[in-house]
Structure 1
């Protein structure tokens, strides 16, 4: 998996990288086909923004979150990303079950 960190109006510190990597490990266990991820940290006047572009096989997910604290924004971002990955994974699984073949003996016992 290719992972890139970008800081806009902010220097990306080792602490931010480590915190994000620890949170991202939780999501990677749900998504087994992660190609690359780009995490962007931005600072506006008071608001801190964290966004991620996650490239899975067959889908690209873009999530962003604003907060007054960067670590809170990362927590919010990872929660949203976790839900999005689980939702994508559930949609990929077939929802229809294969019908069971009914034999004559089964129907005869049910009729009695």
Structure 2
């Protein structure tokens, strides 16, 4: 798994890097087929009192790319929201990938009409 953490108008400190790694550990525990993760942390300076911290992630799994972004006044809160959203997307994707053992409705109807 490749992990890239970068900052825009922001220096990514070791504490911030460790925080992101700890949060992304939850996502990789739920789904282990993650190929690549790109995290971008941004500070938008609209006005001095209206500073917005933005976090976005692109997660590449086998066959699909998942993208999330959030913004908040606190960067750590934005990362928390981001990981919650990403975790929901990963669990949904995992369910779609693993849910291929049921009989399709098309085949069920064909079997019923074929036996009559």
Normalised TM-score (structure 1): 0.83
Note the C-alpha offset of 1:31. 1.4
Note the C-alpha offset of 1:94. 2.4
Measured in 2, the distance between the counterparts of 1:74 and 1:92 equals 26
What residue number does 1:62 align with?
A: 67
Alignment: residue pair count: 98
RMSD: 1.2
Structure 2 unaligned blocks of 5 or more: 46-50, 104-116
Q: Deviations over 1:36-86 (max 9, x none)?
A: 101000001200000001000011011000000000000000000000000
What residue number does 1:51 align with?
A: 56
Structure 1 unaligned blocks of 5 or more: 99-112
Which of the two has higher C-alpha Rg?
1
Q: Deviations over 1:15-47 (max 9, x none)?
A: 110000001001101111111101000001200
What SS does the aligned partner of 1:10 have?
Answer: coil
Q: Does 1:92 align with 2:77?
A: no
What residue number does 1:41 align with?
A: 41
Measured in 2, the distance between the counterparts of 1:12 and 1:95 equals 41
